[in-house]
Amino acid sequence: MSADLDDTDRALLRLLMADGDMGAAALGAAVGLSQPAAWRRVKRLESLGIITGRQLELDRHKLGYEVVVFLGIKLAAKGRVGLEDFERAVSAIPEVQLVQHVLGVYDYRIKVVARDLADFERILRRRIMTLPGVGEVESNVLLSEEKSSITML
């Protein structure tokens, strides 16, 4: 399961998780490798499936998205409407940023971005409540968030 990574690999991952734009030269300089050696290590991490991709980081406030809401969704008619139908429909909503299938009091956890609360209400009524098989929906508005991903490394 866990690939054998040495301290240099972990250091490279830490740097790339903070700034995915870092080139092989800068990475190499930071961990004490030549540019080609750093490049080969990053390629290896990609081919091992440890680095799965890159994600754009945007300031949502500057783009006019002031509200983030997490929804817990319970499906009403399990079996009748397949999970796949629900997933396909929910993923097609442009304001939905994340769809997670979970075990527990809810079936799905989704993240929605909206310009303001009125915009969120529109999305909830027109798009979420009309999803195939949707049952109970719980909304929690994000007030603040802090992250740290260093433990894994």
Binds another protein (CB under 8 A): choice among 6, 7, 53, 118: 53
Q: Any idea which residue has 């909830």 for tokens? A: 124
| Structure tokens belonging to residue 150 | 């260093």
Query: What part of residues 122-151 is at the interface with another protein (CB under 8 A)?
Result: 138-151
- In single-letter form, the type of residue at position 36 comes to P
152 touching another protein, by CB under 8 A: yes
**Contact in structure between 100 and 110 (CB atoms under 8 Å):** yes
Is-contact 105 72, C-beta < 8 A?
Answer: yes
Q: Which is nearer to another protein, 118 or 148 (CB)?
A: 148
The answer for residues whose C-beta is within 8 angstroms of residue 83's C-beta and 6 or more apart is 75, 101, 107
Q: Is 58 a binder of another protein (CB under 8 A)?
A: yes
In 10 A of CB 95, how many CB atoms? 20
Query: Whats the size of the chain, residue-wise?
Result: 153
The only residue of 56, 79, 84, 118 in contact with another protein, by rule CB under 8 A: 56
Q: Per CB under 8 A, does 59 bind another protein?
A: yes
Helix (H) or strand (E) holding 108: strand 108-114
Tell whether residue 55 is a contact of another protein (CB under 8 A).
yes
Minimal distance, residue 37 CB to another protein, in Å = 18
Q: Which of residues 81-110 bind another protein (CB under 8 A)?
A: 100-106, 109
Among 6, 47, 54, 118, contact with another protein (rule: CB under 8 A)? 54
Strands 67-75 and 108-114: antiparallel
Please report, as ranges, the residues that interact with another protein according to CB under 8 A: 1-3, 5, 13, 16-21, 48-59, 62-64, 70, 72, 100-106, 109, 138-153
